[in-house]
Amino acid sequence: MNKLKVAIQKSGRLYDDSLKLLKECGINIQFRKNQLKAFALNFPLEIFFIRDDDIPQYLEDSIADLGIVGYNIFSEKRKRIQVKERLGFGKCRLSLAIPRQLNYRGIKDLNGKRITTSYPILVQEFLTKHRLNAEIQEISGSVELTPSIGLSYGICDLVSSGSTLFMNGLKEVETLLQSEAILASSMLLEEDPIGKKLMKELLFRIRAVINAKNNKYILLNAPINKLDKIMLYLPKNLTLSPFLLNYQFCVIHTVISEKDFWRVAENLKIFGVFNILVMPIEKIIY
Ligand code: PRT
Ligand code: ZN
**Side chain identity at 39, as an amino acid letter?**
F
> Looking at residue 182, what is its pLDDT?
98
Question: CA 262 → CA 98, 105, 228, 266, distances in Å?
Answer: 36, 37, 20, 6
- Judge whether 170 and 49 are in contact, CB under 8 Å: no
DSSP helix/strand/coil, 61: coil
* CA 40 – ligand 1 centroid, Å: 27
> Looking at residue 34, what is its pLDDT?
85
> Looking at residue 28, what is its pLDDT?
96
DSSP state string for 225-256: GGHHHHHTTS-SS-EEEEEETTTTEEEEEEEE
**Span 183-238, pLDDT tens digits:** 999 999 989 999 999 999 999 999 999 999 999 999 999 999 999 999 999 988 77
CA quadruple 14, 18, 24, 26: dihedral, nearest 10 = -170
Distance of CA 156 to the CA centre of its chain: 20
Question: Which protein residue has the closest C-alpha to ligand 1 atom 19?
Answer: 70
* CA 118 – ligand 2 centroid, Å: 10
181-186 and 81-86 beta bridge pairing? antiparallel
Cβ–ligand 1 distance for 178 under 6 Å, the answer: no
* CA 225 – ligand 1 centroid, Å: 52
Identify which of 14, 53, 66 has the alpha carbon closest to the alpha carbon of residue 185: 66
* Residues lower than pLDDT 70 in the chain: 245
Cβ–ligand 1 distance for 164 under 6 Å, the answer: yes
Task: Give 270's DSSP letter.
Answer: H
DSSP state string for 206-223: HHHHHHHHTEEEEEEEEE
**Positive/negative CA dihedral, 233, 236, 239, 245:** positive
- The contacts of residue 185 (CB under 8 Å, 6+ apart) are 59, 65, 66, 67, 81, 82, 84, 199
List the 37-40 sheet strands across, edge first: 29-30, 37-40, 45-50, 4-9, 66-70, 181-186, 81-86
Cβ–ligand 1 distance for 160 under 6 Å, the answer: yes
DSSP helix/strand/coil, 88: coil
**Span 255-276, pLDDT tens digits:** 999 999 999 999 999 999 999 9
Question: Which protein residue has the closest C-alpha to ligand 1 atom 29?
Answer: 158
* CA 14 – ligand 2 centroid, Å: 10
